[in-house]
């Protein structure tokens, strides 16, 4: 039978649905084991799940689900299959899809549970939750359990004696931490909202973790989480929860930690490889750069769409103000007849080398973060200076300390690193071009940049635009916005001029059209 909207809530079947959703999720993992040739583990898992599989089949039959007999027949078939590859194929292509369609047929939930939160069912059978005021989902609308599994597998470090987690959500990431660690590490969960913990027990999976392994800390401010952090602890963030914190003094310490942690796990191997290669190049550190040529007014040129609006203005400023560009927009500027004074490059990705390829003979001063892709330092023939960017676990900080070099921070953004350079050159005013920190017009970058693409903004974060209204952004860009707002708040005597007409509002900036040069 098919229930009407919110029938799962009315009939008290939420927990039952979540348990069936978890069974389906585990069957998908069984298929993954088979694909990785972990046959014994896959057979063991199937045997362990057999009782739950039978319960799901019984429920299908009792509800007169139209594909119940097909499911029964295929389950009987796989019981006798000896070919493990064929077993995986039938599970993946027949059994799991039938189960998914059945669970979707049982009804949906889409209801505000209080003035702040909305609970919704997903196509996988798990629940997701939305912060109505922040207009932000905390979990995937498709499969929040799979999303959490990927995150924790990427970030779990078995050497950590315990874990601290910011953001409770509905508990998927916490549960996966428990599963992937095999219950071997205590978990401390921190959140500002006690209601979220209540919902994680009622609509999520927090109750699946033994109480003795989880400590819940409802705190008054985010600094308590920072103060409790210890070196031997692993740290995890529910990144979506950061965007729900509107007070930047509260959100900034977490945003900084999130960017550093996420960067470390996403790019750890590449960062270490690039750092060691760049170090062997013997390039001078940025402290050797003569900064006296930097003018009192600097223009930081990011790669955002607003570059298109002000390209003629930037051209007119050449020689009058110091132009500090990021690598993304370098080739576009050259095509416009604009030679920047400095170009900053930061990213470990191999793709970033495309920003240099073909213009290796330029004489522009290149400021290169030590973790930036090694090919840049190897092939660029112009002047280069390195910057020791803080990157835990890479060896860069130790190298900087041993050589008495400065540490640079940036919050994970090359545009912010360019701003930091301008600040350290004691400028009086920074014009921010192409720092939209959002996707105005659903476009990622300026025209003529290799990174430009159309964006699907349907599930992105809605933030206040420069002149009111809303514009859509993602977690990374929104985190960079928080970092920039913190920098602006902490630097006295510098005017920050926002030259994005449709990007995200950045607190502490002046609008270009309102000032007199």
Query: Looking at the structure, do residues 461 and 349 belong to the same domain, yes or no?
Result: yes
Gap between the Cα atoms of 56 and 50, Å rounded: 10
Query: Looking at the structure, do residues 355 and 490 belong to the same domain, yes or no?
Result: yes
SS3 content of the chain, % helix, strand, coil (to 5): 45, 15, 35
Question: Shortest CA distance to 93 belongs to which of 78, 108, 103, 79?
Answer: 78
Residues 232/311, Cβ–Cβ less than 8 Å:
no
Gap between the Cα atoms of 147 and 182, Å rounded: 19
Query: Looking at the structure, do residues 127 and 217 belong to the same domain, yes or no?
Result: yes
Question: Is 268 domain-assigned?
Answer: no
pLDDT at res. 4: 39
Task: Count the domains in the chain.
Answer: 3
Rounded (10°) angle between helices 39-62 and 68-78: 150
pLDDT at res. 496: 96
Query: Looking at the structure, do residues 44 and 78 belong to the same domain, yes or no?
Result: yes
Query: Looking at the structure, do residues 392 and 317 belong to the same domain, yes or no?
Result: yes
pLDDT at res. 2: 31
List pLDDT tens digits, range 110-142. Answer: 889 999 999 998 988 899 999 988 888 889 888
Question: Shortest CA distance to 392 belongs to which of 155, 82, 116?
Answer: 155
Domain-terminating residue out of 106, 131, 150: 106
Domain that holds residue 158: 111-245
pLDDT at res. 436: 93
What is the Cα gyration radius of the chain? 26
Question: Is 269 domain-assigned?
Answer: no
Question: Is 227 domain-assigned?
Answer: yes
DSSP-assigned letters across all residues of 446-494: -TT-TT--B---TTSEEEEBTTSSEEEE-HHHHHHHHHHHHHHHH--S-
pLDDT at res. 304: 92
Question: Shortest CA distance to 20 belongs to which of 88, 93, 71?
Answer: 71
Write out residues in the chain with pLDDT < 50, as ranges. Answer: 1-4
Query: Looking at the structure, do residues 334 and 379 belong to the same domain, yes or no?
Result: yes
Q: What is the mean pLDDT of the chain?
A: 87
Gap between the Cα atoms of 447 and 114, Å rounded: 44
List pLDDT tens digits, range 349-381. Answer: 888 999 999 999 999 999 999 999 999 999 999
Query: Looking at the structure, do residues 293 and 351 belong to the same domain, yes or no?
Result: yes
Query: Looking at the structure, do residues 149 and 199 belong to the same domain, yes or no?
Result: yes
Query: Looking at the structure, do residues 355 and 477 belong to the same domain, yes or no?
Result: yes
φ/ψ (deg, to 5) at 82: -100, -25
Domain-terminating residue out of 52, 83, 106: 106
Question: Is 260 domain-assigned?
Answer: no
Question: Shortest CA distance to 206 belongs to which of 241, 239, 234, 169?
Answer: 169
pLDDT at res. 252: 63
List pLDDT tens digits, range 463-501. Answer: 889 988 899 888 778 888 888 998 999 998 999 999 998
Query: Looking at the structure, do residues 390 and 496 belong to the same domain, yes or no?
Result: yes
Helix boundaries (H) for 96-216: 96-105, 144-155, 172-180, 194-202
pTM metric for this prediction: 0.62
pLDDT at res. 245: 73
pLDDT at res. 330: 96
Question: Is 146 domain-assigned?
Answer: yes
Question: Is 1 domain-assigned?
Answer: no
Question: Is 265 domain-assigned?
Answer: no
Residues 297/422, Cβ–Cβ less than 8 Å:
no
Query: Looking at the structure, do residues 237 and 220 belong to the same domain, yes or no?
Result: yes
Domain-terminating residue out of 47, 80, 106: 106
pLDDT at res. 493: 92
Question: Is 256 domain-assigned?
Answer: no
Query: Looking at the structure, do residues 129 and 95 belong to the same domain, yes or no?
Result: no
**3-class DSSP assignment, residue 226:** helix
**3-class DSSP assignment, residue 80:** coil
- 218, β-bridge pairs: 191
């Amino acid at each position: 039978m098919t229930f009407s909207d919110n029938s799962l809530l009315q009939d008290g079947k939420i927990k039952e649905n979540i348990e069936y959703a978890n069974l389906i999720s585990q069957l998908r993992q069984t298929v993954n084991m088979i694909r990785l040739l972990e046959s014994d583990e896959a057979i063991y898992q199937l045997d362990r799940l057999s009782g739950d599989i039978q319960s799901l089949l019984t429920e299908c039959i009792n509800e007169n689900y139209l594909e119940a007999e097909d499911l029964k027949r295929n389950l009987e078939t796989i019981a006798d299959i000896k070919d493990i590859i064929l077993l995986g194929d039938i599970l993946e292509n027949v059994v799991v899809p039938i189960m998914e369609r059945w669970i979707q047929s049982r009804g949906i939930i889409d209801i505000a549970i209080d003035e702040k939160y909305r609970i919704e069912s997903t196509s996988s059978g798990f629940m997701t939750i939305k912060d109505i005021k922040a207009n932000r989902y905390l979990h995937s609308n498709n499969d929040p359990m799979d999303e959490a599994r990927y995150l924790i597998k990427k970030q779990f470090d078995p050497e950590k004696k315990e874990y601290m987690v910011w953001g409770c959500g509905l508990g998927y990431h916490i549960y996966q931490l428990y599963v992937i660690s095999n219950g071997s590490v205590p978990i401390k969960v921190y959140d500002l909202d006690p209601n979220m913990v209540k919902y994680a027990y009622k609509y999520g999976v927090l109750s699946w973790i033994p109480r003795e392994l989880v400590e819940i800390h409802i705190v008054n401010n985010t600094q308590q989480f920072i103060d409790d952090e210890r070196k031997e602890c692993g740290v995890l963030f529910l990144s979506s929860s950061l965007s729900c914190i509107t007070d930047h003094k509260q959100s900034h310490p977490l945003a900084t930690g999130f960017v550093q942690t996420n960067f470390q796990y996403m790019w750890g191997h590449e960062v270490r490889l690039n750092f060691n290669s760049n170090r062997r190049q013997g390039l001078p550190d940025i402290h050797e750069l003569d900064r006296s040529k930097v003018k009192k007014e600097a223009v930081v040129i990011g790669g955002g769409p607003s570059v298109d609006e002000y390209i003629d203005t930037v051209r007119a400023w050449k020689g009058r103000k110091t132009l500090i560009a990021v690598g993304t927009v370098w080739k576009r500027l050259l095509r416009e007849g604009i030679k920047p004074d400095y170009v900053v490059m930061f990213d470990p990705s191999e793709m970033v080398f495309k920003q240099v390829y073909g213009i290796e003979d330029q004489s522009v001063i290149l400021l290169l973060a030590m973790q930036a892709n090694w090919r840049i330092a190897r092939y660029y023939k112009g002047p280069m200076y390195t910057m020791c960017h803080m990157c835990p676990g890479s060896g860069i900080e130790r190298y900087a300390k041993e050589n008495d070099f400065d540490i640079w921070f940036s919050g994970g953004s090359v545009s912010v690193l360019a701003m930091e350079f301008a600040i350290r050159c004691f400028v009086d005013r920074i014009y921010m071009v192409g720092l939209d920190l959002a996707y105005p017009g659903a476009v990622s970058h300026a025209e003529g940049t290799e990174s430009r693409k159309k964006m699907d903004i349907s599930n992105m974060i809605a933030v206040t635009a420069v002149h009111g209204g809303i514009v859509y952004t993602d977690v990374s860009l929104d985190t960079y916005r928080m970092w920039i707002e913190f920098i602006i708040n902490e630097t006295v005597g510098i005017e920050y001029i926002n030259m994005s007409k449709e990007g995200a509002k950045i607190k502490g900036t002046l609008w270009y059209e309102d000032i007199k040069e």
